[in-house]
Structure 1
Amino acid sequence: MKKGLFFVLALSLMLSTAAFAADTIKIGLMAPLTGKWANEGQEMKQVVDLLADELNAAGGLLGKKVEVISEDDAGDPRQGALAAQRLSTQDVVASVGTYGSSTTEATQGIYDEYEIIQIANASTAVRLSEKGLPLFFRSCPRDDEQGIVGAKTLIKAGYKKIALLHDNTSYASGLATEIRNELEREGVKPVFFEALTPGEQDYAAILTKMKGANPDVVFFTGYYPEAGLMLRQKKEMGWNVPFMGGDATNNPDLIKSAGKDAAAGYMLVSPPVPGDLDTPEAKAFLDAFKKKYTGQPGSIWSVLAGDGFNVICEAIQKAGTTDTKKVAEYLKTQMKDFPGLTGKLAFNNKGDRVGDVYRIYKVDAGGNFVLQQ
């Protein structure tokens, strides 16, 4: 009798859980909630949670509430694979994120196997969308586009002796290669092309080695923690060579790490910072974010996570289904000029965002990222 009663209770619990799950549409968020990029991941979560709350307050999606399930990848490929596995067992339709290209690459096969849409918000490595994975998308642009803009900026500024430094990650090494190839097509051969080890506390050795090549500019394609530290240490050693960087250095913590004096004059190639977004959709979002979190988003990558969430929800609504193949088909063939937070969005057959996004920024004496063009 007790065994029978236990079976009935267990079955009832399972059915009630299934019924609850059927009443929500689950969307995953994979982000570096801890680790060296935690400020990026935490802000990604804030943005997506805010947009989900607004959507649910307006009636949800297909008559159901949207439930965001967040997993921490710690900015590490191995942790990312585990996070993707956890999300893949929780009936998510799609996964928004993540930040680093190497971490995203470690998860692509998992999401593809489970037929889950993946929309990266900051993973710009070219090869991610060259694999023919039908459910992979990204709301951010690609490194080959960034490489062209970066190389043209260097050439336009008149630099002839260019040092390229990366950190061996998928993103940084890929971007450095794209810039080198573009420079060489224009007849400019870099005088230095090497990698540093990310996460170290002293870059005097690599800075001294670069200085020996006598460049008139250094372009670093890695991330903001290392960029900020090198700017500070470069100033301490009295080396006044200009530094430029890629879009992974677009973060307020760059200024904190370097100090305003050392960061002044630093230039970077990046999508617009949040404060330069001027569409009605962006302004409404920024007002809502400031009201809820008492401040403006510091990173464009968190806003691009919001774009990823919004286009997934739009595609589910317009396709009238959570069937991931049909949702992906809508994104690739029917979504045109969607009014995103960072501008109009559409996707090509590879899942890449269509359109020009990159701009040039320069850090002023007050530590602000100032749009140059």
Structure 2
Amino acid sequence: MSRKSVKSILLALLAFTFMCGISWAETIKIGLMCPLTGSWASEGQDMKQIVELLAEDLNAKGGLLGKKVEIVVSDDGGDARTAALSAQRLSTMGIVAVIGTYGSAVTEASQNIFDDFGIIQIANGSTAIRLTAKGMDKFFRTCPRDDEQGKVAVKTIESMGAKRVAILHDNTTYAKGLAEEAKKLLDTKSQIDVVFYDAMTPGERDYNVTLMKMKSADPDLVFFTGYYPEAGLLLRQKMEMNWNVPFLGGDATNNPQLVEIAGKDAAKDYYFLSPPVPQDLDTPEARDFLKSYVKKYGTEPGSVWAVLSGDGFLAITTAIKNTKSTDSDKLADYLHTQLKDMPGLTGKISFDQHGDRVGDLYRLYKVDASGAFVLQPK
């Protein structure tokens, strides 16, 4: 056989391989983009441990398509610029899909990059509405959207008997989007007055000026839509100035470090909206997984956002298993049209045509005197 004929056969085999979505790689690589450093590092560490534990369990059962699953981790630092570099690096490493990340603005910085490379991305803590409004058919998320949270927030504010509400955000994609959604609903569909609406700067250490401005507006409830580090500081400094107005937070304040930052006394009676925290997940899959997690790491995951990254891993590996392919077009089509009510860690998983998770996850929590997050009755 001539050298030219051999070359033709090899090219034909290579073309067949790509058409079938088969990879000759020794492992099936799945990326994980998460904040291992920065102010959200606790979320990223839990994400890493959860996804790696699920991969370890899957590999112990034989892996996928006869191969081991390899998790390729990249730190985005909870920062948009770092996330763009992280996405570029992951996109050149032969990954089939990527899980992550936490923070809507951080995820948004990576979206176009993964989309350009044709790589499926399943975000876990990125709730901004516009992320799934761009027509990217390979973008999915296991968390709910801000408009869903906004509706629940308004119902909660009404149920708490508030008449004058202050809304404070931090200008991030997530927090501003949630604040705008809540304000729109309060202005048009309720008898509640929004007496203060403004932004503060995340990462600062002193929010007394912001608190004084809010206090002067005389609200009977404050809805803060930013993240847990700032929420903790606001609660502590609010107590130090003897202002006893109740605070309601969005789901980005669902992290045990909020209590560490605020102190138990300042955090007591703080309310927040969130999908169920890990200890309140009641599916058989969640209970079994949490037992394995505690056995390996000695503690439960800190928040549900990391657990939602596990749902992303389960969704993509289920798609690979059932399509018997790593072709991104086949996998995306499966996730959109065939993945129905998959038993996930946080409940049943399905995606709509936009890549949004189907179903209502939000619950109301209250911080008790011991600093525990207590699920409130519906």
Matches within 5 A, 1:184-333: 184-187=187-190, 188-333=192-337
**Counterpart of 1:93 in 2: which secondary structure?**
strand
Kindly indicate whether residue 99 of structure 2 is the aligned counterpart of residue 113 of structure 1: no
Deviations 1:269-312 (A, max 9, x none): 10000000011100000000001001111110110000000100
In structure 1, give the amino acid aligned to 2:31. Answer: G
Point out 4+ residue stretches in structure 1 off by more than 3 angstroms.
Answer: none
- Match of residue 5 from structure 1: none
Q: 1:28 aligns with which of 31, 37, 61?
A: 31
**Counterpart of 1:306 in 2: which secondary structure?**
helix
- Which runs of no fewer than 5 residues in structure 1 stay unpaired? 1-19
TM-score, length basis structure 2: 0.93
Q: Distance in 1 between matches of 2:348 and 2:152?
A: 20
In structure 1, give the amino acid aligned to 2:334. Answer: Y
Q: 1:100 aligns with which of 98, 103, 106?
A: 103
Kindly indicate whether residue 170 of structure 2 is the aligned counterpart of residue 167 of structure 1: yes
Q: 1:39 aligns with which of 23, 35, 42?
A: 42
Matches within 5 A, 1:105-144: 105-144=108-147
Contact map agreement 1:44 1:305 (CA 8 A) in 2: yes
In structure 1, give the amino acid aligned to 2:29. Answer: K
In structure 2, give the amino acid aligned to 1:64. Answer: K
- Which runs of no fewer than 5 residues in structure 2 stay unpaired? 1-22
Q: Distance in 2 between matches of 1:92 and 1:131?
A: 23
Q: Distance in 2 between matches of 1:168 and 1:68?
A: 33
Aligned-residue Cα RMSD (Å) equals: 1.1
Contact map agreement 2:308 2:345 (CA 8 A) in 1: yes
Q: Distance in 2 between matches of 1:185 and 1:362?
A: 28
In structure 1, give the amino acid aligned to 2:171. Answer: N
Matches within 5 A, 1:49-64: 49-64=52-67
Deviations 1:19-62 (A, max 9, x none): x9712110000000001100100110000000000000000011
Contact map agreement 2:42 2:302 (CA 8 A) in 1: no
**Counterpart of 1:190 in 2: which secondary structure?**
strand
Aligned length: 355
Q: Distance in 2 between matches of 1:102 and 1:129?
A: 13
Q: Distance in 2 between matches of 1:21 and 1:336?
A: 30
* Structure 1 position 185, deviation (Å): 2.2
* Structure 1 position 189, deviation (Å): 3.3
Kindly indicate whether residue 198 of structure 2 is the aligned counterpart of residue 183 of structure 1: no
Q: 2:371 aligns with which of 347, 351, 367?
A: 367
Percent of pairs with identical residues: 63
In structure 1, give the amino acid aligned to 2:61. Answer: A
**Counterpart of 1:193 in 2: which secondary structure?**
strand
Deviations 1:65-101 (A, max 9, x none): 1000000000000000000000000011111000010
Q: Distance in 2 between matches of 1:46 and 1:107?
A: 22
Deviations 1:305-338 (A, max 9, x none): 0000010000111111000111010011011110
Contact map agreement 2:352 2:358 (CA 8 A) in 1: yes
Deviations 1:204-249 (A, max 9, x none): 0000000000000000000000000010000000000000100000
* Structure 1 position 365, deviation (Å): 0.5
In structure 1, give the amino acid aligned to 2:222. Answer: V
- Match of residue 48 from structure 1: 51
In structure 1, give the amino acid aligned to 2:264. Answer: K
- Match of residue 10 from structure 1: none
**Counterpart of 2:64 in 1: which secondary structure?**
coil
In structure 1, give the amino acid aligned to 2:230. Answer: E
- Match of residue 343 from structure 1: 347
**Counterpart of 2:194 in 1: which secondary structure?**
coil
Deviations 1:131-184 (A, max 9, x none): 000100001000000000001100121101000000000000000011111112
TM-score, length basis structure 1: 0.94
- Match of residue 77 from structure 2: 74
**Counterpart of 2:193 in 1: which secondary structure?**
coil
Q: Distance in 1 between matches of 2:320 and 2:75?
A: 25
Q: Distance in 2 between matches of 1:232 and 1:152?
A: 26
Q: Distance in 1 between matches of 2:147 and 2:209?
A: 30
CA 1:113–1:129 in 2, change beyond 3 Å: closer, same or farther?
A: same
Contact map agreement 1:161 1:190 (CA 8 A) in 2: yes
Contact map agreement 1:180 1:189 (CA 8 A) in 2: no
